[in-house]
Amino acid sequence: MTKNRFAKRTDGSLAGGQTGWFQGGASCFTPLARPTPQPAWRIILLGPPGVGKGTQAELLGEQLHTCHLATGDLFRAAKSLDEAGRSPALRNAVEHMKHGELVPDETVLSLVRERVHCLKCSGGFLLDGFPRTVAQAEALEKLLAAEQVHLSAVFNYDLPVEQIISRVFGRLTCAQCKTVYHTAARPPQVAGYCDKCGGKLFQRDDDQPAAVKVRMDAYLNSTRPLIEFYRQRGLLLNIDASGAPDQICRRTCKLVLNR
């Protein structure tokens, strides 16, 4: 695989389009030339929590030469910012997260609007964590239409619930560069420490059993209807999320490149 120019650097800082995604405002990244005649892919990633969307986004970014834009990463980063560094939408989102509540549709949409330059970037995007509801999808559709941006596809990763639970409960995240590991499927070379930057690994709050149940219930009630929403628009590609990450990535690329 080629080197991902948008990947987090070994010192934990961000490169490329992800910088604009985290900072908001008018900043944007001018992408490097992509292989000719490869298009700029604009893709939404769907699937239940723990299915491996973040890992696939990292691998797909290398293969499709585009940037992973994750609202979950944005929310988690917002917690570490001081009050002055947060936009009104970020402050609102953090308050809801402090109380263990899901961030409302309008707040999430406001965050995305603040970063519309990332969706317009000629490098394309892999959008992970948004939209989560049909209402968000309809709002995103209007936003993209206003900017004359067209989706390439929507990937729906599917995996039996028992396998998802196994993945989530063994998942570890690097505190510095956010690389994801798994105690069984993708263990670090040195237990408790990241292979890439040496940062300490931890289990995220939303990977705890009680949080996983809340996230699964939210997915079944709100996010799953998105599958039909995007199927009706001819954008949906269902992908079997079983197997090793590289296998799933090859399976995904084969589908999208033959689209």
What's residue 219's pLDDT?
A: 78
Q: How confident is the model at residue 20 (pLDDT cuts 50, 70, 90)?
A: low
Is a pLDDT exceeding 50 seen at residue 203? yes
Would you call 53 a catalytic residue per the annotation? yes
Is a pLDDT exceeding 50 seen at residue 125? yes
Q: How confident is the model at residue 11 (pLDDT cuts 50, 70, 90)?
A: very low
Domains by residue range for the chain, with CATH: 17-160+223-257 (3.40.50.300)
Active site residue: 8, 167, 171, 186, which one?
Answer: 171
Active site residue: 5, 34, 76, 204, which one?
Answer: 204
Closest among 137, 155, 192 to 55, alpha carbons compared: 155
What letters, b where the CB count within 10 A reaches 16 and e where it falls short, cover 10-42? Answer: eeeebebbbbbbbebeeebbebeebeeeeebbb
Higher-confidence residue of 198 and 64: namely 198
pLDDT digits (tens, 9 = 90+) for 223-234: 788 999 999 999
Would you call 186 a catalytic residue per the annotation? no
| Residue-by-residue DSSP string for 126-194 | EEES---SHHHHHHHHHHHHHTT----EEEEEE--HHHHHHHHHTEEEETTT--EEETTTB--SBTTB-
Would you call 254 a catalytic residue per the annotation? no
Is a pLDDT exceeding 80 seen at residue 166? no
pLDDT digits (tens, 9 = 90+) for 26-56: 555 545 455 656 778 999 999 988 888 988 9
What's residue 88's pLDDT?
A: 81
Residue tagged 């269902």 (tokens): 238
**What's this model's pTM, rounded to 2 decimal places?**
0.74
Would you call 9 a catalytic residue per the annotation? no
The stretches of the chain forming alpha helices (DSSP H) are 17-23, 53-64, 71-80, 88-98, 105-114, 116-120, 134-146, 161-169, 209-218, 225-232, 245-257
Would you call 259 a catalytic residue per the annotation? no
**Helix axis angle, 105-114 relative to 88-98, nearest 10°?**
140
Active site residue: 42, 115, 132, 167, which one?
Answer: 132
Q: Of 5-14, 18-27, 214-223, which gets the smallest average pLDDT?
A: 5-14
Active site residue: 42, 53, 115, 178, which one?
Answer: 53
Q: List all residues 6 or more positions away from 192 whose beta carbon is below 8 Å from its beta carbon.
A: 200, 201
What's residue 2's pLDDT?
A: 34
Distance CA 224, CA 215 (A): 12
